Chain A
Amino acid sequence: MSEYDDTAVQTAPVEGASAADTANHPFPELAFRRAESLKMGGEQAIERQHQNGRLTVRERIQKLTDPGSFREVGTLAGTGTYDAQNRLVSVTPAPYVAGLARIDGRPVALGGEDFTVRGGTTFGSTRRKGGQGGFIEDLAHHYRIPLVNLIDGAGGSVTSIKRRGHSVFPGVHGFERSVELLGEVPVVSAVLGTAAGGPAGRAILSHFSVMVRGTSQIFAAGPPVVKRSLGQTIDKNDLGGAKVAVDTAGTIHNSAGSEEEAFEQIRRFLSYMPSNVWELPPVVETADPVDRCDEKLATIVPEKRTQAYSMHRLVQMVIDRDSGFEIRPTYGKSVITMLARMGGRPVGIIANNPMVYGGAMDVHSARKQIHFMELCDTFHIPLIFFVDVPGFMVGLKAEQEGTLREGMRAVTVAGKLKVPTITLVIRKCYGMAGMATCNKNDIDLKLAWPSAEWGSLPVEGGVAAAFRKEIQAAADPVAREREIEAELKPYASPFRTAEAFAVEEIIDPRETRPVLCEFIALAEKRLQADVGLKPRYGVQP
Chain B
Amino acid sequence: MARVEIGSPVTGTVWKVERAVGDAVQEGDVIMILESMKMEIPVEATEDGVVAELTVAPGDSVEDDQILCVVES
- Chain B residues 33 to 55 lying within 8 A of chain A, measured CB to CB, are 36-42, 44
What CA separation (Å) do A307 and B34 show in the bound complex?
10
Contacting pair B39 A354 (CB below 8 A): yes
The answer to whether A357 and B40 touch across the interface, beta carbons within 8 angstroms, is no
Cα distance, A91 to B73, chains bound together (Å): 55
| Bound Cα distance A357, B10 (Å) | 7
A307 close to B40 (CB less than 8 A): yes
Please tell me if A306 contacts chain B, counting CB pairs below 8 Å: yes
Question: Complex formed: what's the CA distance from A308 to B12 in Å?
Answer: 14
**Do A358 and B36 touch across chains, with their CB atoms under 8 A apart?**
yes
* A368 smallest CB distance to B (angstroms): 16
Which A residue sits closest to B41, measured CB to CB? A308
* Binary interface encoding of chain B residues 4-15 relative to chain A, with 1 for a CB under 8 A from any of its CBs, else 0: 000001100000
- Size category of the binding interface on chain B: 10 to 19
- Which residues between 19 and 68 of chain A lie within 8 Å of chain B, taking CB atoms? none
1/0 contact trace for B22-37 toward A, CB 8 Å? 0000000000000011
Query: What are the interface flags for A509-525 relative to B under an 8 Å C-beta threshold, 1 for contact and 0 otherwise?
Result: 00000000000000000
C-alpha gap A306/B42 in the complex (Å) = 11
Instruction: Compute how far the CA of A357 lies from the CA of B44 in the bound complex, rounded to whole angstroms.
Output: 17
Number of A-B contacts (CB under 8 A): 29
Chain B's nearest CB lies how many Å from the CB of A250?
15
Q: Is A141 an interface residue (CB 8 A)?
A: no
Contact present for A357 and B36 (CB under 8 Å): yes
- The residue of chain B having its C-beta at the shortest distance from the C-beta of A393 within the complex is B37
A8 within 8 A of B: no
Residue of A nearest to B11 (CB): A357
- Enumerate chain B residues within 8 angstroms of A304, measured Cβ to Cβ: 40
Give me 27 A-to-B residue pairs in the complex whose CB atoms sit less than 8 angstroms apart, sorted by A's number.
A304-B40, A306-B38, A306-B39, A306-B40, A307-B39, A307-B40, A307-B42, A308-B39, A308-B40, A308-B41, A308-B42, A310-B44, A333-B9, A354-B39, A355-B10, A355-B41, A356-B9, A356-B10, A357-B10, A357-B36, A357-B37, A357-B39, A358-B36, A358-B38, A358-B39, A360-B37, A390-B37
A interface residues with partner B (beta carbon < 8 Å) = 304, 306-308, 310, 333, 354-358, 360, 390
CB-CB nearest 9 A-B residue pairs? A358-B37, A358-B39, A307-B40, A308-B41, A357-B37, A308-B39, A355-B9, A355-B41, A356-B10
